[in-house]
């Protein structure tokens, strides 16, 4: 029985510890895993984009709590979902604010319920802490074997939250930087499959912040120390990096910065 936690609560306060205490009080045999609590505050999209990078790798039947919830206490719904990724069943619990949408895009199938059965929550629910009082109790009960349908009625109108679309021209893709990780690597919304439509990798040129980074590389070691490069990251997105450095600092990149991939009939330096 595995329960994972992703939040924007940070590490300085007792919020995460309280959630874990609730989980263990209901399902004492659960293994609790911290994914991260350093999602930028109230940044639902940043949290949402992390979920597909870890959920598929957990044992079937794992329960994943994701709480980046600026609408806590409002009319937004709480939801629980059963999804199939790579043929394996995973369970997700959190607010219906779009945080689960990137996972659902990757899923082979899913079903969802609205969390209306208050008997599965804590007896006293603070309007500002549904992570502790609603989502974690529900997650722990799922981990202990409660069926999804016991939590509330089925729903199909989940909130969508999608990254900005990639713009396509005849021989180019125009995207933008979506996330910046701990190393300063800057991932875009352009996926490996998007590049495949442009032709051979050797004929591509990635341009960001006025810099031509050449074609996407296979790994960081393909360039010298301090050199900027583009590559496909482990989640399948086109990423800008600096070997042994920070691309966000070296290139002045921020979320939303434009990135372009041009295709040529022959390598430009041929």
Whether residues 104 and 220 share a domain: the answer is no
Of the residues 155, 187, 222, the one at which a domain ends: 155
Q: With bands split at pLDDT 50, 70 and 90, how would you rate the model's confidence at 85?
A: very high
Whether residues 39 and 127 share a domain: the answer is yes
> Cβ atoms within 10 A of the Cβ of 104, count?
19
Looking up residue 101, the CATH number of its domain turns out to be: 3.40.50.10790
**Range of the structural domain that residue 37 is part of:** 2-155
Asked if the model's pLDDT at residue 151 lies above 70, the reply is yes
Asked if the model's pLDDT at residue 139 lies above 80, the reply is yes
Whether residues 8 and 100 share a domain: the answer is yes
- CA–CA distance, 79 with 113 (Å, rounded to integer): 6
Mention every residue, 6+ apart, whose C-beta is less than 8 A from residue 15. Answer: 7, 9, 129, 131, 132
Instruction: Indicate whether 93 belongs to any domain.
Output: yes
Instruction: Indicate whether 162 belongs to any domain.
Output: no
Average pLDDT over residues 204-227: 95
Instruction: Indicate whether 133 belongs to any domain.
Output: yes
Of the residues 106, 127, 155, the one at which a domain ends: 155
Average pLDDT over residues 2-14: 97
- CA–CA distance, 16 with 37 (Å, rounded to integer): 8
Buried residues in 63-75 as b, exposed as e (16+ CB within 10 A)? bbbbbbbeebeee
Average pLDDT over residues 201-215: 92
Q: Please tell me the total count of domains within the chain.
A: 2
Looking up residue 243, the CATH number of its domain turns out to be: 2.40.30.90
Q: With bands split at pLDDT 50, 70 and 90, how would you rate the model's confidence at 266?
A: low
The confidence score (pLDDT) of residue 128 equals 95
Whether residues 178 and 226 share a domain: the answer is yes
Average pLDDT over residues 87-108: 95
Instruction: Indicate whether 160 belongs to any domain.
Output: no
Average pLDDT over residues 73-91: 95
Whether residues 198 and 151 share a domain: the answer is no
The confidence score (pLDDT) of residue 183 equals 95
Instruction: Indicate whether 161 belongs to any domain.
Output: no
CA atoms within 13 A on the CB side of 255: 10
Q: pLDDT digits over 19-59, tens only?
A: 999 999 999 999 999 999 999 999 999 999 999 999 999 99
The confidence score (pLDDT) of residue 268 equals 63
| pTM, entire model | 0.88
Minimum mean pLDDT among 78-82, 186-190, 201-205: which range? 201-205
Whether residues 16 and 138 share a domain: the answer is yes
- 222 forms bridges with which residues in the sheet? none
State percent of the chain over pLDDT 90. Answer: 87
Whether residues 175 and 147 share a domain: the answer is no
């Amino acid at each position: 029985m595995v329960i994972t936690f992703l939040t924007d609560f940070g590490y300085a306060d007792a919020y995460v510890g309280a959630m874990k205490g609730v989980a263990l009080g209901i399902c004492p045999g659960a293994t609790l895993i911290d994914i991260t609590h350093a999602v930028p505050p109230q940044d639902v999209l940043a949290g949402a984009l992390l979920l597909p990078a870890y959920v598929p790798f957990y044992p079937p039947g794992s329960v994943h709590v994701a709480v980046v919830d600026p609408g806590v206490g409002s009319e937004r719904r709480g939801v629980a979902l059963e999804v199939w990724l790579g043929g394996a069943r995973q369970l997700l619990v959190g607010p219906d604010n779009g945080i689960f949408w990137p996972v659902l895009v990757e899923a082979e199938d899913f079903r969802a319920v609205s969390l209306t059965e208050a008997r599965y929550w804590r007896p006293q629910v603070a309007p500002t802490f549904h992570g502790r009082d609603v989502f974690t109790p529900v997650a722990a009960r799922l981990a202990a074997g409660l069926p999804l349908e016991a939590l509330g009625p089925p729903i199909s109108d989940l909130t969508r939250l999608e990254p900005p679309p990639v713009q396509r021209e005849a021989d180019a893709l125009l995207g933008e930087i979506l996330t910046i990780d701990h190393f300063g690597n800057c991932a875009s919304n352009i996926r490996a499959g998007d590049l495949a439509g442009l032709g051979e990798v050797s004929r591509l040129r990635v341009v960001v912040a006025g810099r031509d980074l050449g074609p996407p590389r296979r790994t960081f070691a393909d360039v010298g120390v301090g050199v900027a490069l583009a590559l496909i990251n482990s989640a399948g997105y086109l990423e800008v990096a600096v070997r042994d450095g920070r691309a966000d600092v070296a290139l002045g990149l921020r979320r939303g910065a434009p990135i372009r991939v041009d295709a040529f009939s022959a390598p430009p330096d041929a």
